[in-house]
Structure 1
Amino acid sequence: MKSIGIIVLNLMVVCLYGQSLSEYVDIALANNPAIRARQMEAEVTRQKIDQVTALPDPQVNISAFMNPMMLPMGNQVGSVSAMQMFPWFGSLDARSQEIQSQIGVDEKMIDVSRNELSYRIKVAWIPLQEIEEKIKIKKENLRILQNDHDLASAKFQFGKGPMVNVVRADIMIDELKTDITLLEQKRKPLVAVFNHLLNRPEETPIQIDGQLAEPNEYEVSDSNRNISDNPNLLVYDEKMRLSDAQANSAEFMRKPMIGAGLQYMLQVQRKNNDINLLPNTGKDMIMPMFSLTIPIWKKKYDAAVQEREVMKTVYLSEKEALENDLASVLAMTVYEIDEASQKWELIENQKIKVRQAIDLLEAAYQNDGNDFEEMLRLQQKLFNYQLEEVSIKKDLHIALAKREYLIGKK
């Protein structure tokens, strides 16, 4: 049941890019060092919570008199005191909230890295599918040209066609073989780039299943232009929350700190030859202590609060600028999707008409040996349409991936 669930999920998520793309995306997200670094940064920030919410270390003082201090209760020979300072009520919670807000920023930065990496994986994967599909088309074209070559040779041997038809077929076959070789060579650097994104050796083989899917009507017609979920924008939302938390924490810098403690004074009874100061019991004394800091230099605290408020305004302006940029890019991306979709529909219609013309010419050529050149020309036109269709599908899928990246689609 678990395997069936995984298969269904893969089909739902990557119907546009092939069955194995989601697996490669998962591998990349798990192995990417930049994402791991972001995650470690978030963990480092998380470790600060216990640091900022801890009370200040208590202060312990021990003193001894070179000459005892005479007090009515006896001679004081030393003292031990302990003092604990306490931040103002709510200060520790404010510091904790500040760190929690910073963690929120770190986690959104992880989402930014994941979104960007997923997009880069798709953009690297789609051209690989394009090359594989073009190689298949060219190999099929090569097979048909070889059949045409054999047919032209047979016609020439029986005196029903000129030798030039054979030569034409040879020229086109040689060109096609070179094209296939070049495509296979082009595949190698693209595989290397893809493997680098997966953080593994560049020569690691990859399995490319299927081919570029035909345009999905639902995906193409999706008019979603809501960029509010873009991780880059959400980062600014978290940064503004962080500024609020920092301003709140800075407000508590204006509050005093309260200290409480005890002092234990060690006393001994005076001897007979000492000054007789009653009651001279030699009883030790315990004295409660209380202290209070007075934050009178308010300018620095006001400046700290103002600094956070200004930063919030900066983040808001930067977010608005980024929103405008993303909206502009998304508008152009939507146009590219519409353009590629219309081109694909045109190519589909043109292919049908060219196939009809080829069928008519093949029948005529088999009967009287005429129009071989025109038949070759139309065959090449059909294969060029097929190649162009693959390129259009590639552009369309890249545009769809870009739209997903812009709107923050998971």
Structure 2
Amino acid sequence: MQSYIDVAISNNPEIQKFDFQYKIALEKIEEVNSLPNTEFSAGVMALAPKMEMPMERFKISAMQMLPWFGTLSSRKDYAASMAESEYAEVNIAKRKLARSISQLYYLLYEIRAKQEVLLKNIKLLETYEQLALTSIEVGQASAVDVLRLQIRQNELQQKIDVLKEENKGIQAAMNSLLNRPFDEEITIFSTLIIPENDVTLNYERLSIHPELIQYEKIYNSVEQLELLNQKERKPVIGIGLEYINMKDSPMITSSYKDMLMPMFSLSVPIFNKKFSSQTKQNKLKLKEIEAQKKERLNSLQADLSKAIALRNQAKIKFDTQAKNLKQAKDAEEILIKNYETGSINFNDVLDIQELQLKFQMNQIESVQTYYVQQSIVNYFIQ
């Protein structure tokens, strides 16, 4: 089954979607680590009056705005924290996909195991049918007994046919997660056994579950956002240079008629209610994330406890069905021995056969439930 999980993680479009989102988030780190656009401007004197005074022909200027010291690094840290949050989303998606693949896999096991049991029971009924035919010849059974055995075989064959269709649906669903053709064959273990002893579980491992780690990453991103907010409320510095080309004029006695002027600007957020409000929002957001994380931890603990309880119940039911099945087989042996002595009640035969089938089906369902719940446990603690 692990091989199917590996294939799904490699091929599943949803995992690829989250992976692309993570890569996009990584690229945003480079995006924010850049200065604002450099502003260039130029002007030409289109119409000028005739006068002796110096006049400009054209001017060219360039201005670069520079954020406050440390602002770029704060933006980069914030973008990196958002990327880490996206990476946690990838891990969550992988765990959920592994759980879904496991559950479909064990559903297929249940369907195919039931088909095998039904086929064996049909063959057993065919044996009983031969016994009934032999008993008719010696007057110890009637044609009604044979018909009832045949009707029972038809019912079991119907269940097999229904399971075949159900198998197609579950197999198609699993192949969709594997991103393969819907009718591609999926190989399943022929036998699954419930282990005698389960691995001791450590609830403390829930603390490193990706869903909780994601809250930690989001918490960190809000902290980084507040640091960035503190930087962006600082002034923005602008430096530039302006060149002015002047016409020749008798009034200019210097050998340098053109002008070159360094420029400096300062953008100060005097009305900074925006930044103060953002700070309050960030503080409230941190408290909200803490509450959400605690709520999710409680939910994970409850779901894990429920999965463990259902898994243990499945084990108890399996053991009970095993005892019942043994007793039903003992009863079957008694009936066969009665046949050897010259008497057999085919109503009792059908009743015992139906009981055996019921116990076998219940065992298979218990195995399926056990491993499905184990896959849920694995989602929480692996």
Q: TM-score, normalised by structure 2?
A: 0.89
- Secondary structure of residue in 2 paired with 1:228: helix
CA distance in 2, matches of 1:174, 1:103: 60
Q: 2:61 aligns with which of 70, 81, 94?
A: 81
Report if the CA contact (8 A) 1:38-1:110 is conserved.
yes
Stretch moving more, 396-405 or 113-122: 113-122
Residue 171 in structure 1 maps to residue 151 in structure 2? yes
CA distance in 2, matches of 1:60, 1:140: 86
Shift of 1:262: 2.6
Residue 224 in structure 1 maps to residue 202 in structure 2? yes
CA distance in 2, matches of 1:221, 1:113: 25
Q: Which amino acid aligns with 2:200?
A: D
Report if the CA contact (8 A) 1:79-1:264 is conserved.
yes
Taking the TM superposition and a 5 Å limit, the aligned residue runs for 1:44-193 are: 44-64=24-44, 66=48, 77-193=57-173
Q: Which amino acid aligns with 1:124?
A: L
Summarize deviations over 1:176-230 as a string: whole Å, max 9, x none.
222222222322322333333334443x132233235111345x34333342233
The 1:59–1:158 alpha-carbon spacing in structure 2 relative to 1, beyond 3 Å, is: same
Report if the CA contact (8 A) 2:115-2:163 is conserved.
yes
Shift of 1:141: 0.7
Q: 1:246 aligns with which of 222, 225, 233?
A: 225
CA distance in 2, matches of 1:46, 1:298: 31
Report if the CA contact (8 A) 1:330-1:406 is conserved.
yes
Q: What residue in structure 1 maps to residue 288 of structure 2?
A: 314
Shift of 1:25: 2.6
Q: What residue in structure 2 maps to residue 10 of structure 1?
A: none
- Secondary structure of residue in 1 paired with 2:222: helix
Report if the CA contact (8 A) 2:171-2:186 is conserved.
no
Unaligned runs of 5+ in 2: none
CA distance in 2, matches of 1:68, 1:53: 51
Report if the CA contact (8 A) 1:80-1:265 is conserved.
yes
Report if the CA contact (8 A) 1:53-1:95 is conserved.
yes
Q: What residue in structure 1 maps to residue 357 of structure 2?
A: 383
Shift of 1:153: 1.1
Shift of 1:317: 1.5
Q: Which amino acid aligns with 1:151?
A: L
Q: Which amino acid aligns with 1:228?
A: S
CA distance in 2, matches of 1:180, 1:43: 48
Query: Across the two proteins, how many residue pairs are aligned to each other?
Result: 379
CA distance in 2, matches of 1:120, 1:140: 31
Q: Which amino acid aligns with 1:120?
A: S
Q: Which amino acid aligns with 1:229?
A: I
Q: Which amino acid aligns with 1:353?
A: Q
CA distance in 1, matches of 2:7, 2:67: 47
Q: Which amino acid aligns with 1:45?
A: A
Shift of 1:268: 5.6
Stretch moving more, 172-181 or 280-289: 280-289
Residue 288 in structure 1 maps to residue 262 in structure 2? yes
CA distance in 2, matches of 1:315, 1:68: 71
Q: Which amino acid aligns with 2:302?
A: S
Q: What residue in structure 1 maps to residue 271 of structure 2?
A: 297
Shift of 1:78: 4.1
Q: 1:397 aligns with which of 368, 371, 377?
A: 371
Q: Which amino acid aligns with 1:250?
A: N
Q: 2:185 aligns with which of 182, 206, 210?
A: 206
Shift of 1:347: 1.8
Report if the CA contact (8 A) 1:268-1:282 is conserved.
no
The 1:112–1:69 alpha-carbon spacing in structure 2 relative to 1, beyond 3 Å, is: farther
Q: Which amino acid aligns with 1:153?
A: L
Shift of 1:90: 1.0
CA distance in 1, matches of 2:196, 2:50: 96
- Secondary structure of residue in 1 paired with 2:260: strand
Report if the CA contact (8 A) 1:127-1:394 is conserved.
yes
- Secondary structure of residue in 2 paired with 1:146: helix
Report if the CA contact (8 A) 1:267-1:282 is conserved.
no
Summarize deviations over 1:150-199 as a string: whole Å, max 9, x none.
02211221344454543442232222222222222322322333333334
The 1:248–1:139 alpha-carbon spacing in structure 2 relative to 1, beyond 3 Å, is: same
Q: 1:332 aligns with which of 306, 310, 326?
A: 306
Q: 1:341 aligns with which of 293, 315, 319?
A: 315
CA distance in 1, matches of 2:354, 2:218: 58
Q: 1:367 aligns with which of 316, 341, 366?
A: 341
